[in-house]
Chains A and B, each alone.
Chain A
Amino acid sequence: MQWHRLSLNELREKLLAGEVSSKALTEYFLERISKLDPQIRAYITLTGEEALKQAQAADEALERGEGEKRPLLGLPLAIKDNICTDGVRTTCASKILENFVPPYEATVIERLRDAGAVFLGKTNLDEFAMGSSTENSAFFPTHNPWDLSRVPGGSSGGSAAAVAAGLCAGALGSDTGGSIRQPASFCGVVGLKPTYGRVSRYGLVAFASSLDQIGPLTKTVADTALLLRVIAGPDPRDSTCAPEEVPDYLAALERDLKGLKVGLPKEYMGEGLDPEVRQAVEKALEVFEKMGLEVREVSLPHAPYAIAAYYIIAPAEASSNLARYDGVKYGLRVEGKDLIDMYKKTRSQGFGPEVKRRIMIGTYALSAGYYDAYYKKASQVRTLIAEDFSKAFEEVDFVVGPVAPSPAFKIGERIDDPLQMYLSDIYTISVNLAGIVGLSLPCGFSQEGLPIGLQIMGPHFSEPQVLALGHQFEKTLDLKPKEPEL
């Protein structure tokens, strides 16, 4: 049986029906990893032994009839390596945390564990989630399962590649400017950036705290609904986590969407968009019309300023967050002639070039005399970008568009030009600045056979509607092939 072809929801049914054990599933995925991951390189750390113990415990719990109550019982998952796992090395793909073993568990991990998940390992990313290709990992790049010479996107490239290649049944990533949605699009899987505050950030290694959000990467929209239900909800350990109750996302998937309005921002279909991506998005709009939704044009007039605002705000927050890596409490220490020298040597040898670049931009933008010109200005533009969406959502129920301007690019193609790399986040960044929902799901392939993603955006806490639209679109389109040949 080719278990990796089944969705989380399908595997759950098989487990509940006793058609497969969690142990057999876990062994199956571990074997696939040992066979295929040497070419993909999705994982930084594998936790096979622990996974088998968790699977054994899951099988016993299934035997006791706990399956109905625990929605992920026995399902093997992968976790982005910037989410803290108690007792399991969490590196952020950085030399500065190469040997860091968290003494505590992230809230999302606790929730997955309570729901019965099995953890296969920790996946690769751009160092500290800063990047769009996973090439900024201090350890190695990850390869796109659809074309090994191409990037899987980033920063959650390891999680996206692992789902696409069938090296796990589902995964978690994090998204600060598109880091779940863009790799999902490049790898032909589903990825959700939930409303800011929908999921606790406790235990997510901080990059830009006002933008960071954890979310699922899965084969289907229904799988994302299943995972989101488990990880979402208020957490006393994260005061930015929203108090709103968590709805049953799975139950909402089949709701009637006829007559609802979908808006296409004209700013998202202009210059710089690959013609094949444009075509795929236009075809998606036809599908929406066929489904009985109304499609119209909307405007997000400040969209062209999103990248500029983001590349002030995110580095500013990052420069402050990453001040904690000082060689004292955890992580790398490189001895120096005094305390300041120790800090400088530790940080200079521990961080890679992109992380240093962002710390420099952020420090500059926050430094004396520049704060108003940069950080405050960018935060005012952030208000304008958020207002654009509020106005659009007065006219339409959803905003849709491309996820990325092109399909996956070649490894090495953009790594020497940071600004060019930043521009690949042009359609995803506004969603983080506004704190709204963004779903990426496959909508087509390029002539070269590379996946193309569609983005569905909705207002704060509109996950039930956005997932329903994604789910019904996915069923109507029935895109093939479902997975790459490996």
Chain B
Amino acid sequence: MSITKEEVLHVAHLARLEFSEEEVTRFTEQLADILSYVAKLNELDTSHVEPTYHALKLTNVFREDEVKESLPPEKALQNAPEREDNFFVVPKVIK
């Protein structure tokens, strides 16, 4: 399994990461190594196997829809890098 530098750059964009030229080279090699290792999964025929996404057979855990105490805005905002009144401030999105 091989992966190209272009693919690495595309995936980095999807993951909202950026890399230096040297990092892209290193990551391309390391990801190729890891992907060729995990390719051993293809030795197994899984065409009739249900996937497991959760280790316990728990389904739909319901509870009453009740109003309960929640985090006050002051606490919810206490770690915000930038805030104004009760809002998180982000860079302008709409041009």
A residues at B contact (CB < 8 Å): 99-101, 103-104, 195-197, 210-211, 236, 239-240, 242, 302, 304-305, 307-309, 311-312, 319, 323, 326-333, 335-336, 338-340, 342-345, 347-348, 351, 356-357, 359-361, 363-364, 367, 374, 376-384, 386, 418-419, 422, 433-436, 460
| Residue of B42, B53, B88 contacting most chain A CB atoms (<10 Å) | B53
With contacts A357-B31, A380-B50 known, what are 6 further pairs, Cβ within 8 A?
A196-B56, A327-B81, A330-B81, A333-B81, A380-B46, A418-B30
B interface vs A, CB < 8 Å?
A: 3, 7-8, 11-12, 14-19, 27, 30-31, 33-35, 37-44, 46, 49-56, 58, 61, 63, 71, 75-76, 78-82, 88, 90-93
* Contact A344 B18, beta carbon cutoff 8 Å: yes
Please indicate the chain B residues that have their CB under 8 angstroms from the CB of A99 in the complex.
Answer: 79
B11–A104 touching, CB < 8 Å = no
Tell me if A382 and B71 are in contact (CB < 8 A): no
Contact check, B40 vs A342: say whether CB atoms are below 8 A apart: no
Is B8 within 8 A of A196, CB to CB?
no
What is the distance, in angstroms, from A111's C-beta to the closest C-beta of chain B? 19
A sample of 7 inter-chain contacts (CB < 8 A) reads A308-B40, A338-B91, A347-B15, A360-B12, A360-B31, A377-B46, A384-B46
Candidates B3, B55, B79, B88; contact of A101 at CB < 8 Å: B79
Find B51's partner among A239, A330, A347, A376 (CB 8 Å cutoff): A376
Main SS class of interface, A: helix
**Within the complex, what minimum Cβ distance (angstroms) separates A100 from chain B?**
6
The total of interchain contacts (Cβ-Cβ below 8 angstroms) comes to 164
A419 to B50, CA, bound (A): 28
Cβ contacts under 8 Å, B18 to chain A: 344-345, 348
10 tightest Cβ-Cβ pairs between the two chains A and B: A435-B55, A330-B79, A379-B51, A333-B81, A380-B46, A103-B75, A239-B61, A196-B55, A343-B16, A363-B15
Nearest Cβ on chain B to A250's Cβ, whole angstroms: 25
Judging by beta carbons under 8 Å apart, are B91 and A342 in contact?
yes
- B-side contacts of A338, CB under 8 Å: 91-92
Complex Cα spacing A433 to B37, Å: 18
A255 → chain B closest CB, angstroms: 25
Given contacts A101-B78, A103-B71, contact A344 B41 (CB under 8 A): no
Q: Which of A239, A329, A339, A356 contacts B79 (CB 8 A)?
A: A329
Query: Measured between alpha carbons, how far is A466 from B95 in the docked complex, in Å?
Result: 61
With A197-B55, A332-B81, A418-B34 as known contacts, state yes or no: A348 contacts B40, CB within 8 Å. no
